[in-house]
A and B are shown apart, each in its own frame.
Chain A
Amino acid sequence: MGVKLNVNGDVVDVDVSGDTPLLWVLRDHLGLTGTKYGCGGGYCGACTVHLDGAATRSCQLPVSTLQGRAIQTIESLDQRHPALVDTWTNNNVAQCGYCQSGQLMSAAALLDGNPKPTDADIDAAMTGNICRCGTYVRIRAAIHQAAGHQATGSAE
């Protein structure tokens, strides 16, 4: 079926079967490979995107349900959250990096709704994102640091 999608502010037409999860549309049909496949079951968060601003697992979203919804992917994060991207880089948060697109998208959605999250807020918002390399302590620190920059309007 033909579906009109709003991805990172662009309207794009894709022709796929309606049950195709958004994840595979992004990766295979739109060349947006920053969003990763990790489990296909909504357990790991590697495929996290923003759907109308909310962190959502794209492996669980049939594309037929997304007409008219605003989809944002990791590829747009630099424009929207430069402090977060820089903080992640400057703190060497990533190890292998495969889960980090999803981690960043969950972190960005958290900061959008809660500019000064506590450790408990971070744990709650980030609990759906697995990192096998174990970068959690740096993720926590980087979110706090990025929140500080956002609050003062500075981006390193």
Chain B
Amino acid sequence: MMNTITNLSPEFSRRRFLGVSGVLVLGASLPVRRALAQTPAGTFEPSLFLAMDGQGTVRVTVHRSEMGQGIRTALTQIVADELDADWSRVEVVQAQGDVKYGDQNTDGSRSITQNYDRLRAAGASARLMLRQAAANRWNVKVDDVAAANHEVVHAASSRRLGYGELATEAGLLPVPENAPLKKESEHRYIGKPVIHVDAGDIARGKGTFGADYAVPNMATAVVIRCPWLGGGVKSIANKPMNEPGLVAIETLDAAPSAGPLFAPLGGVGVVAEDTWTAMRIAQGLDIEWTGSPNQTFNSDELRQALRDAVAKPGTPVPGSEKGDVDAVFAAGGTELSATYETPFLSHAPMEPPVAVADVTEERCVLHAPLQDPQSARPLIAAQAGLTPDKVEVTPTLLGGAFGRKSKPDFALEAVELSKRVKRPVRVQWLREDDIRHDYLHASSAQHHRAVIDDEGKPTAWLQRSAFPSITTVFAAQAVQPAPWELEMGFSNLPYSVENQRMESTGIRPGARVGWLRSVCNIFHAFSANVFADEMASAVGRDSIEHRLALIPASGKLKQPGQPAPPGHELDFGRLRHVIERVRKLSDWDKPRPEGVGLGFAVHHSFRSYVATVLEASMDNGRPSVSNAYVVLDCGTYVNPDTCVAQMEGAVVFGLSLSLYGDISMKDGAVVQSNFHDYPMLRIAEAPATKVELVPSQGRLPAGVGEPGVPPVAPALSNALFAATGTRHRTLPIRT
């Protein structure tokens, strides 16, 4: 058994979940190489996600990847709750990448949204089957027996049977459809704070991350990649021979210079008996690279092109135009206009990309921190020269990801090198590799222009956004931003405006662009929230009062283009509610001392609503944030403590990008390389953070991992304006 149970009486007062007396702890290691459905005959396995043996040990299979968002715990809570399982008798099994699970892409803050109903059903079906098995044994009606805490009870006769004792008989029953689900009031794990299943292992250094996975006879490789995209190895001047510990030096094919850009970048793989030997030899190599069209790419020129793009008309967003913006602008009035800019960003998860591949002629076994092991599997198979059924892909714990590890390029490097040297190979990216060879968050520019009335309300509002589209990594011809990128805080602006137009422009970059935690919402929320604050301040109005006046009193947003699926629409009432609550939580109306300002921002993304207030000032010429207040409405939530933690983390992640995040490129190469020139927020700069969670109310479970990030940068900019009178329209805000 891998379960360890600890009796706990932690102080939860800090976390504002008063009234919760107990916290559940479930210890589980990531099982190594354990396949699902290898349970012996006689056990109960009513779904892909749930199995139980004759001892009553429940195994919940988690088919999403853990990267700090608590998904291994939350998905297990859902199944265990409907099963009415004793939490101490539940183990977690990490699923391999396999189409049988349906979508396994841990991305878009949607793991709970997509799996809440099906995992509840899995637990509920199993509970009904166990009740039926007991009823059959006792020859009573199923309605007369109840399940409770790993037992089935017949109250009338005071008989009871443990789940384990019923496993074999339950396993012979058909799986019922539409088994009754619990009422929200009956939930024992869903909606309750639960200690993460890996928390105990992590605090003891025992969590298995990508680089911690090891197999016998494994070699370690460090790969040197061309500084510019699309370049390959021309020559290696000083290839060492007979270096102790060196296994092989392998030349890897160059990536294409334009999309699709999911293949490894190519370069020189130095395979050695240990990591330091590989690093040392790799650093000493003198490699000449071939050219590429991307070698002339400079981020300064891109930034200028983006500014130029939003200074002139772009492509109108279909269906976005209302009234006649140009007529209002021509008629005159109080006009405001501003241009906002954001740079490239790197994901920089604390765990740099890493993968362990063991390729033989018959099989390929891969362990790596992958966000989507399922979509990686056919690519890994192709790289290994095998069919996908010969390939096993198992996610380890992800030491942070933020979107980076949805691309399996680093795993494919390990596969190729293992195939070449005929040994298991771990490919270890160095931090410098990670910063220089990322799929960068796009640099962008936005231009806003409005005519406002005496109350600061826009009578006409023109918005432009320009950025390199993520679709450029999918196709060489792609240029224009995709509708889904614009629906991240641009085309779905929730404000009432009679005359409105939205235009976008795409520019192809000489770099790989990818999605970083909350994606285009970062720059769209920044510009829209700061511009709204500018409208309010132009007429001397309170920013929250002003914002509430812009948002309709009730109803749902009708966004341009495809309507949002039911339950996913932006609900004005919910948006207003988080604003009202953050106003109270932050004591918004209480005056702050001279030089201290409050800044407000609100954003709807990934189906959730987040309102954020930051308290900031300037300290020795640098912005300093003393307090953060966040209200989250994510609909139905599973683990409230995780939701709070994600908001706390989002404040820090958002402040890192607001204060420091800036990747530049020169001659096709990323200039920065490590945390000295791509800094992160450190503990002394982290504000005290208060988070409130809006109760579930039976609503669609919405996203939690990403939606806390977008309001942070604009709230900071607005707070600094309140503190100093200086407007910051470009990120990062350094002074």
Interface residues of A (CB under 8 A from B): 16-17, 19-21, 24, 27-29, 31-41, 43-44, 46, 73-75, 77-78, 85-86, 88-101, 104, 122-124, 126-127, 129-141, 145, 156
Contacts and interface: CB of A to CB of B under 8 A. Distances in A.
Contact of B653 (A29, A37, A124, A134): A134
Interface in B45-68: 66-68
Interface in B184-205: 193, 195-196, 198-200, 202-205
A80 to B, nearest CB: 12
Interface string B289-326: 00000000000000000000000000000000000000
A37 B204 contact: no
B681 A33 contact: no
B680 interface: yes
Given A24-B276, A95-B69, A127 B648 contact: no
A124 B685 CA distance: 11
Interface stretch (B374-382, B393-401, B570-578, B613-621): B393-401
Nearest to B682: A127
A94 B211 contact: no
Contacts of B653: 132-134
A21 B280 CA distance: 11
Nearest to A21: B276
Given A28-B274, A29-B274, A94-B196, A44 B675 contact: yes
Interface in B618-677: 641-642, 645-646, 648-653, 656, 674-676
B199 A92 contact: yes
A24 B275 contact: yes
Contact of A38 (B69, B431, B641): B431
A124 B199 CA distance: 25
A134 B349 contact: no
B275, B277, B350, most chain A CB atoms within 10 A = B350
Interface string B340-353: 00000000111110
Interface in B375-434: 397-402, 428, 430-432
A131 B200 CA distance: 18
Given A134-B686, A137-B686, A20 B203 contact: no
Interface stretch (B9-17, B233-241, B591-599): B9-17
A21 B277 CA distance: 11
A37 B68 contact: no
B274 A98 contact: no
A99 to B, nearest CB: 5
A43 B676 contact: yes
A77 B276 contact: no
Which residue, B280, B399, B656, has most C-beta atoms of chain A within 10 A? B399
B265 to A, nearest CB: 20
Contacts of A134: 648-653, 656, 681, 686
Given A41-B676, A130-B675, A89 B200 contact: yes
A44 to B, nearest CB: 5
B280 to A, nearest CB: 8
B25 interface: yes
Contacts of B401: 96
Interface string B473-514: 000000000000000000000000000000000000000000
A141 B683 contact: no
B222 to A, nearest CB: 11
Contacts of B207: 97
Q: Which 7 A-B pairs have the closest CB atoms?
A: A34-B205, A134-B652, A98-B399, A95-B68, A96-B68, A74-B205, A134-B649
Interface in B161-219: 193, 195-196, 198-200, 202-209, 211-212, 214
Contacts of B398: 96
Contacts of B680: 130, 132
A97 B11 CA distance: 21
Contacts of B397: 96-98
B689 interface: yes
Given A34-B205, A135-B645, A140-B683, A27 B211 contact: yes
A123 B195 contact: no
A105 to B, nearest CB: 9
Interface string B4-26: 00101111001000000001010
Nearest to B351: A98
Contact of B674 (A27, A43, A91): A43
Nearest to A129: B683
B350 A46 contact: yes
B23, B193, B649 pick with most chain A CB within 10 angstroms? B649
B276 A137 contact: no
20 contacts: A33-B208, A33-B211, A37-B352, A39-B674, A40-B674, A46-B350, A74-B204, A77-B204, A85-B203, A88-B199, A90-B10, A94-B68, A94-B196, A94-B198, A95-B645, A97-B209, A98-B350, A99-B399, A134-B653, A140-B686
B192 to A, nearest CB: 13
A35 to B, nearest CB: 7
B444 interface: no
Given A17-B244, A99-B399, 18 more contacts: A24-B276, A28-B274, A38-B350, A40-B279, A74-B204, A77-B205, A88-B203, A93-B199, A96-B350, A96-B351, A97-B399, A131-B652, A131-B683, A132-B349, A132-B680, A133-B652, A137-B648, A137-B688
B11 A138 contact: no
B674 A41 contact: yes
B220 interface: yes
Contact of A95 (B195, B649, B684): B649
A138 B674 contact: no
B424 to A, nearest CB: 14
B399 A43 contact: no
A41 B430 CA distance: 11
Central interface residue in A94, A134, A138, A140, by most chain B CB within 10 Å: A134
B675 A41 contact: yes
Contacts of B69: 95
Among A92, A94, A99, A131, chain B packs the most CB atoms within 10 A around the CB of A92
Contact of B642 (A92, A139, A145): A92
Nearest to B649: A134
Contacts of B682: 127, 129-130, 136
B332 to A, nearest CB: 46
A85 to B, nearest CB: 5
A137 B689 contact: yes
Contacts of A32: 205
Contacts of A129: 682-683
A136 B349 CA distance: 16
A19 B321 CA distance: 65
A28 B220 contact: yes
B205 A35 contact: yes
B204 to A, nearest CB: 5
Contacts of B205: 32-35, 73-75, 77, 101
Nearest to B650: A134
B350 A44 contact: yes
